[in-house]
């Protein structure tokens, strides 16, 4: 049972946490809103579809925003209590620093469990749903978006250029296409004198089927990382511009897999061999989903340590110190991830090493708190 003081601390923590969570999610949403607006413009998209896109992308931002919200709320709530001299009053009642930390640890544990649960299926599903909807909407307006003399890049991994465009985008002249397959291993460069776009009628939820019937051209293809180049001359060629075999949004990326699916791939020797070098990215995704809930606890503890001032009227520049620690953490994290993607270091080492160092920093700051134990 929490004491009155501990309940008071908990209620002081909750409002800034909720407000900062909304702020960070809205901040991240602004970057995606430009993409959504560009896609839905002139495509007669219903408001319900736009709302669904925003909802799914907002859900996918939860794991990124909640650790920062915990840090900011921890700093704000403890700093406010310090400036109001309430920390000093609590110390005079015999409360030690763990008594003050206890309600935050309980809140942090609940938030961490929530983040972990969201990462099981909800966040991957939302990311997959968002990508699929974006690709479907892109396919609906693809004919009107292709302009003569302009590069068309709305379809992921495909770059299309046509010198001439006729019949509202259905017929193309002097066509150039660069395409990379879904595994990022095969690159194709296609030149053709003429291209006719053929779109198969599908239902709202089916994978779009959009092809270009090319005539009089050639294909240059190579496997990335290899020196062998193949050249094919054709009179007629049907290029699958937009279907489930080439549109990566319909391919299950690691970020769209459930936690259990990632586990089965990583800890199954047969699946590891099939994944090839892509297994490193899969492992990074798996260990990151475990690390993110831990990051909630570590950021919350950091906020607690930096938020408490050293007595009446004395304050410290907690914001600058927090920024320095965060920059150090993420430089180390992304550097490790870049090595982990290549297999130079084990992915779990790349993910957890910055967290271990952050735990050590928290331990040091916690012991240095000005407190009579």
Q: How confident is the model at residue 342 (pLDDT cuts 50, 70, 90)?
A: confident
Tell me which of 141 and 164 has the higher pLDDT. Answer: 164
Query: Cα separation of 222 and 252, whole Å?
Result: 24
**Domains of the chain: which residue ranges?**
4-138+254-367, 157-246
Average pLDDT over residues 94-102: 81
Q: How confident is the model at residue 310 (pLDDT cuts 50, 70, 90)?
A: low
pLDDT at 358: 96
Q: What is the pTM of this model?
A: 0.73
pLDDT at 361: 95
The proportion of the chain whose per-residue pLDDT surpasses 90, expressed as a percent, equals 32
- The per-residue pLDDT for range 150-188, each reduced to its tens digit, is 888 777 778 888 888 887 677 889 999 888 876 667 888
pLDDT at 143: 58
Q: Which residues, at least 6 apart from 326, have a Cβ–Cβ distance to it below 8 Å?
A: 71
- The per-residue pLDDT for range 39-49, each reduced to its tens digit, is 776 566 778 88
The proportion of the chain whose per-residue pLDDT surpasses 70, expressed as a percent, equals 85
């Amino acid at each position: 049972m929490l004491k009155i003081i501990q309940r008071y601390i908990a209620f002081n923590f909750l409002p800034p946490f909720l407000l900062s969570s909304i702020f960070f999610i809205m901040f991240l949403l602004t970057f995606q809103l430009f993409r959504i607006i560009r896609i839905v413009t002139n495509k007669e998209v219903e408001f319900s579809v736009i709302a669904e896109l925003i909802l799914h992308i907002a859900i996918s931002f939860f794991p990124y925003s909640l650790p920062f919200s915990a840090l900011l709320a921890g700093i704000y709530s403890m700093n406010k209590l310090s400036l109001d001299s309430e920390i000093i009053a609590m110390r005079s009642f015999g409360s030690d620093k763990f008594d003050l930390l206890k309600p935050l640890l309980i809140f942090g544990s609940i938030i961490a469990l929530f983040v972990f649960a969201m990462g099981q299926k909800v966040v991957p599903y939302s990311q997959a749903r968002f990508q699929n909807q974006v690709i479907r909407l892109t396919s609906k307006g693809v004919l009107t978006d292709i302009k003569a003399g302009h590069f068309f890049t709305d379809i992921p991994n495909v770059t299309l250029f046509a010198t001439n465009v006729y019949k509202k985008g259905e017929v193309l002249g002097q066509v150039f296409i660069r395409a990379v397959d879904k595994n990022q291993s095969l690159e194709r460069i296609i030149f053709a004198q003429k291209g006719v776009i053929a779109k198969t009628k599908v239902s709202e939820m089916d994978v779009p089927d959009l092809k270009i019937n090319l005539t009089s051209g050639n294909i240059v293809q190579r496997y990335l990382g290899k020196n062998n180049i193949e050249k094919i001359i054709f009179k007629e060629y049907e290029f699958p511009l937009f279907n489930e075999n080439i549109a990566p949004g319909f391919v299950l990326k690691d970020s769209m897999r459930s936690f259990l699916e990632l586990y089965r791939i990583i800890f199954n020797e047969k699946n590891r061999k099939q994944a090839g070098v892509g297994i490193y990215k899969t492992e990074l995704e798996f260990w990151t989903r475990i690390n993110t809930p831990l990051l909630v606890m570590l950021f919350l503890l950091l906020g607690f340590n930096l938020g408490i001032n050293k007595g009446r009227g004395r304050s410290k520049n907690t914001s600058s110190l927090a920024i320095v620690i965060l920059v150090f953490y993420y430089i180390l994290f992304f550097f490790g991830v870049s090595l982990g993607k290549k297999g130079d270091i084990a992915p779990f080492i790349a993910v957890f090493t910055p967290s271990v160092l952050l735990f050590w920093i928290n331990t040091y700051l916690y012991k240095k708190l000005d407190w009579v134990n």
